[in-house]
Structure 1
């Protein structure tokens, strides 16, 4: 394989990993100019942490030589007197850093004293994936990456292109072409990695873009999103600007989502969500509807994981965009191609799209809880009812109530309280991560709640 700029399309199972000979891999990497390996995992926020080792120490890393003090990190639930966790690299998932080609990044699983660490984000997703496999399913996931590329102006952050100021800039070709050097470098790099970019465009906010690339199995997809976020930061920095995945950086602009496009396949790769004879007209199978019903049942608690910041809930509103609607879901509903639902079945069917997610999420934890909720729907043969085809933004409270439509959480606090009360989230994450995640997010909410903002000073300082 081309070691310099490549990544595996599918993640090997743990049983497959020993088939990769460390010595052979070291020789191939060295021949491609690689000198170091970044042994990397994520904290609760999905931010990559790592130790970099010389390439000839990769074999030792596979044996668990690289130790980390969990107590030094956000919500890696350990005390200062606990034994360190070790990060064991997935040899089949290495990606050479295009901006630092002598370093290859290896997504890794945390272990404690030689056994899987219960609170490792990647291990949590692998457990959910294993549960799906027990039912005969492969969980495929594609994430749409939306982000802003900004620079620091005299009055604060602004689009990198001065003329990017249209009230409705969505799909604006002029602004896209004028920022092409940055976006093109991202796309070219992603395609060199084998990620299969199939479109990119200027989104609905000034300075906002989206790059769409091929789906793969859930673990590989979470690895890719983790690496993409790192890569966006490094590539934009080289152009003297910066990329941000903050869900709602501007009150009068649309926010950035990370729509999760999901399907289940059998062991032969056949899509089990596709049904062209679907009587509801969405092209979705009974299995797909059951999966959707499970996700909707747990919509409030899932929100804490897929929209995990205070700022996330400033995106999940009806209004707040100069171009009109925010395009973000507000209700725990599903529909056909209707973008006002939390779960959308895109035209043609065969997959379901969770639109409440944003890129501030830890993709491993997000995929794990959504998959578990969907599998519950399948096991219990739930039915989500008929699809919502109306513009839900325009319905009155009375109409929403008559249809039994409830809102998604309006704040991070509401979402975390639902998360704490949901046995499914506890089962998926395990007691350690479940407690650590909730404590981390409640602390974040408290810090926000007690912060005195400029808005408050402007409104109240001379008001009374």
Structure 2
């Protein structure tokens, strides 16, 4: 036991200091970003190099159904080998005993990475950058709502009750008083994050009722996607401790802004460590423009990954803090692609289209893939937009079906993300969309039942 625990990350070792480890949760992200896996006694984990799960976990829809994505051999549920990445070992501080979580990577029986495992998809994209002598860097921003417990899906989601005994108020962006309303939940978020070794760059109140944002420091795309994957779980657990729910739905409340996962992106030269978006004189480079151009050209097809559910498209509403087009501009939050104020070394491109409901591995992979295609093919962007981009034309899909059509035709994007991933993802998402189309909504019953 001591042999493998001695090599744990510093935060995990600190969490276990003077304590007996009881259990290890061996987990992998499925397509929606749900943690799948097994909980095993620590003594058993010390003896195992891998464990098995069926590959069918990646064919499952968000409702628990099965998509016809198994391929030519049929639905035989082949075993995958799940091998631990011990650099991801971290505490599960909300459990009753002393538990660690460890993210695993998925391989087939020959040792080849499972191509539709989300973490493997992101690793593939990062490796394509490295093959070009480049290192992508990302910084995600996570928006989410703390809401009242909702155990009846027929009821609308309501803001949570704050410390004052009043429901959380909307239109209080950056209000510290509003943040204080969630004090006990936020305290637990900080405590859980510290126990897990995660550094929070800041927490702010966003524009929605009970909507918060957590910013993370920039770094390696896979490591940051791991953090977002872990953060979603720890935030949910913190909220549950205080009789509320944390939701990462893109649009949980009809009249409130939606929740995004803004992705800040830059690219370093592997040899020099310099930001390739800036010249030595501090000017913008061809690579910067081409990355932008690739985003504008390929993002329409990638929206199906950045906005993975029917609810995701309810977020793209004019004047509701979400973009409606692919315009780019400097220091302009109305555009889909924003260039934040920064010095040359920190020059970056912010993708504001990704919803917080996307799988962090896949959302980051798709965004980086668009930029890579732009740099490889020297795609020039449109002219910078000036003014309010909500006054511009809409040029992104408005419904999931349209987004899936574009994704299924995007062979260039498939080559970067992996053709087998693209095949499986499209089939699973099409199955979810078809299932949704069978649901009759309250709007239809109210306005069509007696009027048509």
Q: Shorter chain as normaliser: what TM range?
A: 0.7 to 0.9
Q: How does 1:142-161 map to 2 (within 5 A)?
A: 142-152=139-149, 156-160=156-160, 161=162
* SS state at 2:236 partner: helix
State the SS of the aligned residue for 2:336.
strand
Structure 1's 331 and 278: CA in aligned 2 closer, same or farther, altered over 3 A?
Answer: farther
- Residues 58-457 of structure 1 correspond to what in structure 2 (within 5 A)? 58-62=45-49, 64=50, 66-75=51-60, 78=70, 79-100=74-95, 102-113=98-109, 114-152=111-149, 156-160=156-160, 161=162, 163-164=166-167, 166=169, 168-267=171-270, 269-274=273-278, 284-318=284-318, 325-348=319-342, 350-395=347-392, 400=393, 407-457=395-445
| TM-score calculated relative to the size of structure 2 | 0.87
Alpha-carbon offset, residue 439 of structure 1: 1.3
Structure 2 unaligned blocks of 5 or more? 61-66
Give the aligned partner of residue 22 of structure 1. Answer: 4
For residue 381 of structure 1, report the CA deviation from its aligned partner: 2.1
Contact 1:158–1:207, Cα closer than 8 Å, also in 2 = no
What does residue 36 of structure 2 align with?
Answer: 49
Could you list the runs of 5+ residues in structure 1 that have no partner in the other structure?
A: 1-19, 319-324, 401-405
RMSD of aligned residue pairs (Cα, Å): 2.5
CA contact (8 A) 2:258 2:315 kept: yes
C-alpha separation in 1, matches of 2:5 and 2:196: 23
Secondary structure of 2:147's counterpart equals strand
Corresponding pairs, count? 424
Worse-matched range after superposition: 75-84 or 362-371: 75-84
Cα pair distance change 1:297/1:278, threshold 3 Å: farther
- Following the alignment from structure 2 to structure 1, what is the Cα–Cα distance between the partners of residues 381 and 58? 40
Divergent runs of 4+, >6 A: none
Q: Deviations over 1:333-359 (max 9, x none)?
A: 211111122111111261111101012
